[in-house]
Structure 1
Amino acid sequence: MLYYSIVFLLIALVAGLFGFVGIAGVATGIAKILFFVFLIAFVVSLVIGRRPRV
């Protein structure tokens, strides 16, 4: 998931460089959403992994 976030960020940078502002905005939004979903999943996996097994 982090891979897709980085890919969309690169797409946004290239689109912004060439002047495609609409595409750059959408790709940036998708990259932000995917990054935060990855971050939440990472934190949840850390919390679940630290619980002792009963």
Structure 2
Amino acid sequence: MNNNWRVLIGILLAAFFLGGETVAKFMGVHTYSIGFIAASVSFLGAILLGARRS
């Protein structure tokens, strides 16, 4: 898989996790901020994959 696709998938996963956490907070569900943590890890992983030289 091309490196650009991995970065795109990582960023889209981060957006998905942030959206899920936002919806859960809006609905009043206690999530222990797992969505924010998962989004941060996914975004940082995408940045690190993008920074690697092939």
Tell me the TM-score normalized by structure 1.
0.72
- The 5 Å alignment of 1:26-41 reads 26-41=34-49
In structure 1, which of residues 11, 14, 24 is the aligned counterpart of residue 20 of structure 2?
11
In structure 2, the gaps of 5 or more residues are: 1-9
Contact in 1 for aligned 2:21/2:31 (Cα 8 Å): no
> C-alpha distance in 1, partners of 2:40/2:48?
12
Structure 1: gaps of 5 or more residues: 50-54
Aligned length: 45
1:27 Cα deviation after fit = 1.1
Larger RCO (CA under 8 A, 6+ residues apart): 2
d(CA) in 1 for partners of 2:38, 2:50 = 18
**Misfit runs of 4+, over 2 Å:** none
CA RMSD of aligned residues (A): 1.4
Report which of the two has the higher share of helix. Answer: 1
Residue identity (%): 16
